[in-house]
């Protein structure tokens, strides 16, 4: 049986593995939701493959994506991360990751989990199954990404506008944007 993938992953083995095993799979645990918040925020203005290749270094630099630990990072921690050539050395993005971690925790406390917070914006509190015939049919924002990013911005989250939010929603399976012909559409 032949394998058909979404066109965006091309022939890059790392992209194909990410596409096949992670992209669009529904994530319910807050640790992974926080990981993707850091990674997608870091991606702002860059290609996803740039961040994906650096994911192991992000994991190390950001305390294995432990939101409690990242929320306590100090200015010294920021300086240390800025010396790490394995991450995008953008001071505001690094500092924002700490602030975003603090806000993430407040949201967990308010809603019980970040997952519960996110899904309050979803129709019937369920993931969206899009009908994607060709790659050009894929959206870059949605009503839900607009609402989530607007609410997060109001709470103080940065580097998480509607386009980044939609990419996040795709990554963590809040929307299924695999092509209808994709073998990995779940």
**Catalytic residue numbers?**
18, 40, 48
Give the contacts of 115 (CB within 8 A, at least 6 positions apart).
Answer: 27, 28, 29, 30, 33
- Give the number of other CB atoms < 10 A from CB of residue 92: 9
- Give the number of other CB atoms < 10 A from CB of residue 72: 13
Evaluate whether 41 touches 58 at the Cβ level (below 8 Å). no
**Main-chain phi, psi angles of 61, to 5 degrees:** -65, -30
Q: Helices 91-111 and 75-82 sit at what angle, rounded to 10 degrees?
A: 130
DSSP string across 57-72: HHHHHTGGG-HHHHHT
Task: Report the distance separating Cα 64 and Cα 128, nearest Å.
Answer: 29
Evaluate whether 48 touches 14 at the Cβ level (below 8 Å). no
């Amino acid at each position: 049986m032949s394998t058909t993938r979404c066109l965006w992953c091309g022939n890059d083995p790392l992209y194909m593995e990410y596409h096949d095993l992670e992209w669009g799979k529904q994530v319910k645990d807050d640790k992974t939701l926080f990981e993707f918040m850091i990674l997608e925020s870091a991606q702002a203005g860059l290609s996803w493959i740039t961040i994906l290749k650096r994911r192991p270094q992000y994991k190390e630099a950001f305390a294995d994506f432990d939101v409690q630990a990242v929320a306590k990072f100090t200015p010294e921690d920021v300086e240390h991360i800025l010396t790490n050539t394995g991450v995008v050395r953008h001071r505001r993005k690094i500092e924002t990751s700490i602030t975003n971690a603090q806000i993430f925790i407040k949201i967990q406390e308010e809603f019980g989990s970040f997952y519960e917070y996110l899904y309050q914006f979803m129709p019937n509190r369920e993931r969206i199954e899009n009908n994607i015939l060709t790659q050009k049919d894929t959206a870059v924002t949605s009503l839900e990404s607009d609402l989530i990013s607007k609410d997060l911005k109001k709470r103080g989250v940065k580097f998480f506008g509607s386009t980044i939010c939609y990419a996040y929603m795709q990554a963590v399976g809040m929307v299924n944007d695999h092509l209808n012909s994709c073998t990995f559409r779940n």
